[in-house]
Every structure is written in structure tokens, then in C-alpha cells.
Amino acid sequence: MKVYVDGQFLDQEDAKISVFDHGLLYGDGIFEGIRLYKGCVFKLEEHLERLEYSAKAILLSMPWSRQELSDIVCEACRLNGLTDGYIRLVVTRGKGSLGLSPKTCTVPSLIVIADRLWLYPPEYYENGLKIITVPTRRVNAAALSPGVKSLNYLNNIMAKMEADRLGYIEALMLNDQGYIAECTGDNVFICHKGTVWTPPFSAGALKGVTRQAVLEIADDLGVPVKEENLTRYDVWVADECFLTGTAAEVIPVVEVDGRPIGDGTPGKMTEKFLTEFRSKVAKEGTFL
């Protein structure tokens, strides 16, 4: 596999960064996870825009234009002979001293990895996920905005580990007020009486690209959507629940905290959103 690091495509074994990189030392950097479907990069502009916003939010000035980033992403896919896959784009603050100050980091680093994709097994789409609310709260937006897709994922990793140790594949995370924020790597939706609800960004949710695609689909289908604070109660009594993310796409949730959601099987609206999402990815995208 060829990996892009700071201006060059290198063999995987040679793709290295400095131990003084602040991305490694402090999680000081940002990233994107992007999907390639049948030779087409899905929502590339949206991912690059979110990357630019993340950079702006952490005062990291990126020397690459959107076009340059787009070209590198496409080239990484072509060079690795991929038609379907997952692209990880990472920007770190770059090499600096051991001190916290980013002032010592003068040149940011850019890494692009285009690889095959790890997917949830098909039975999760057929039978749905069982998830659990974990005690670890989503980081407060006043401490670090969850809107920034930063390299600092320890908060989400702690939550994921809590779920894993209890035998669950995914964790539902609440914010410090007790409202639903998101899962560790996916946004959350519920459906009730024909309306779709998802937490607002202010509740601590990432501006998910898949979330936005699902909102577009809901609009096309004429399904009403509400972006409102949700509690665990709202989830427990919902007809349906599903998660969205670049890797997961749209995946049904059939159980939360040991309670069946709806009749405990993947819901009809969820299935419709998944079908529509898959047809959207087949129609839209940036050709390599």
C-alpha cells in the first residue's frame, strides 16, 4: 500500500512521522474519514469543508488548497488500485518541541491513507445493533467542541471500551446535561410517529456528513425532521432508532440499555433510509 506523507507517496513501511509531532504527543491535529464507492469519492467537498472548519477552529493554518487536498485523496485511491474503500486524511500540527505550545510547530503534516474498509457484518444490518448508554459523558463543547474532528478521540475511546467491557459493540453517549449527544463514532437518530429526530450540534454531536445526507433524504421523502435535544426516555419509547456514519452508513439499532426499541427489529423507516442512502452513494460523488 502507498501512503501519502508530506508531499510523497511512500510504501506503507516507510510512511513515518516524527516522534516530536504534536499530533502524536498531544493529539493536536484533525482528521477525516471518507468513503470511496465504485471509483467515486462520496461527499468529498463536504469532508474537505469540515476539515477546513476543524483547522480553523483549532487555529491550524493549512497550506493546501481544497483542490490540492482533493487531488491527493483521489491519487491515493488510484495508486492503490481501489474502487471501493476508506480514506483517512490526517493533518497534524507538525513537528515541534516537547512543550505544549504549538508555536514551535511551524509546518503541519498531511497524511492520506486509502485502504480497504472495515465494515459491520451484514447481520448487523439485518438484525440491528444492541447498544448501551455509558457513564462517560461526551466532552463539553466549552472544553473542546465535538464539532472539531480532532485527533483527540480518547473521550470516545473510553466510552467504546466501557461498552465493549459490558459486551456491547457501541456506546450511546450523553452530554453533561444528560441529553443524547451521539455514539462513539456515529450520529444517532430516532423515528416516532412518522417524524425523525436527531440531536442538534449543540448537544455535542459531530456535524456528520452521513447525518446531513440522511437529512437530505428525509427532505426528498417529505419526512419531517426535528433537531432537538433528546433524552434516553425519547429513545426508549421511540418506534425506531438508527445510527449514521461514513463507515456504518445507516445502521438499525434494535435495543438500547437492554430495552427493545419498537418491536425489537429494524424499523421500516430505517430500512428506507438505508436503501435511499445506498442509492445516493451510487449516484453522487467525485470521480477518481
Taking the complex as a whole, the smallest distance from the CB of residue 126 to ligand PMP amounts, in Å, to: 22
- Binding residue for ligand PMP, selected from 92, 145, 244, 270, defined by CB under 6 A: 244
For ligand PMP, the closer of residues 109 and 184 by Cβ is 184
175 binds ligand PMP, rule: CB under 6 A: no
206 binds ligand PMP, rule: CB under 6 A: yes
**Interaction residues for ligand PMP, span 21-40 (CB under 6 A):** 33
Write out the three cell numbers for 139. 466532552
Q: Is 149 a catalytic residue?
A: yes
Of 13-21, 58-66, 225-233, 238-246, the segment contacting ligand PMP by CB under 6 A is: 238-246
54 binds ligand PMP, rule: CB under 6 A: no
- Binding residue for ligand PMP, selected from 21, 28, 162, 186, defined by CB under 6 A: 186
**Cβ atoms of 148 and 57 closer than 8 Å:** yes
For ligand PMP, the closer of residues 33 and 102 by Cβ is 33
**Under 8 Å CB-to-CB from 157, ≥6 apart: which residues?**
184
- Binding residue for ligand PMP, selected from 92, 187, 198, 270, defined by CB under 6 A: 187
DSSP class of residue 9 equals E
**CA of 54: how far to CAs of 12, 18, 47, 149, 183, in Å?**
27, 22, 10, 6, 20
Taking the complex as a whole, the smallest distance from the CB of residue 266 to ligand PMP amounts, in Å, to: 19
For ligand PMP, the closer of residues 185 and 262 by Cβ is 185
256 binds ligand PMP, rule: CB under 6 A: no
Taking the complex as a whole, the smallest distance from the CB of residue 185 to ligand PMP amounts, in Å, to: 4
Of 72-80, 87-95, 117-125, 180-188, the segment contacting ligand PMP by CB under 6 A is: 180-188
For ligand PMP, the closer of residues 108 and 208 by Cβ is 208
**Under 8 Å CB-to-CB from 84, ≥6 apart: which residues?**
36, 37, 38, 116, 117
- Alpha carbons 288 and 282: distance in angstroms, whole number: 14
**CA of 122: how far to CAs of 54, 186, 228, in Å?**
33, 17, 31
Taking the complex as a whole, the smallest distance from the CB of residue 206 to ligand PMP amounts, in Å, to: 4
Q: Quote the radius of gyration of the chain (alpha carbons, Å).
A: 19
Which positions from 142 to 161 touch ligand PMP by CB under 6 A, shown as an x/- string? --------------x-----
Q: Cα dihedral sign for 282, 12, 75, 88?
A: positive
- Alpha carbons 129 and 242: distance in angstroms, whole number: 9
**Cβ atoms of 251 and 129 closer than 8 Å:** yes
Opening angle at CA 119, ends 256 and 109, nearest 5:
110
- Binding residue for ligand PMP, selected from 23, 96, 128, 185, defined by CB under 6 A: 185
- Alpha carbons 26 and 104: distance in angstroms, whole number: 13
Task: Write out the catalytic residue numbers.
Answer: 149
Contacts with ligand PMP by CB under 6 A lie at 33, 156, 182, 185-187, 206, 208-211, 244-246
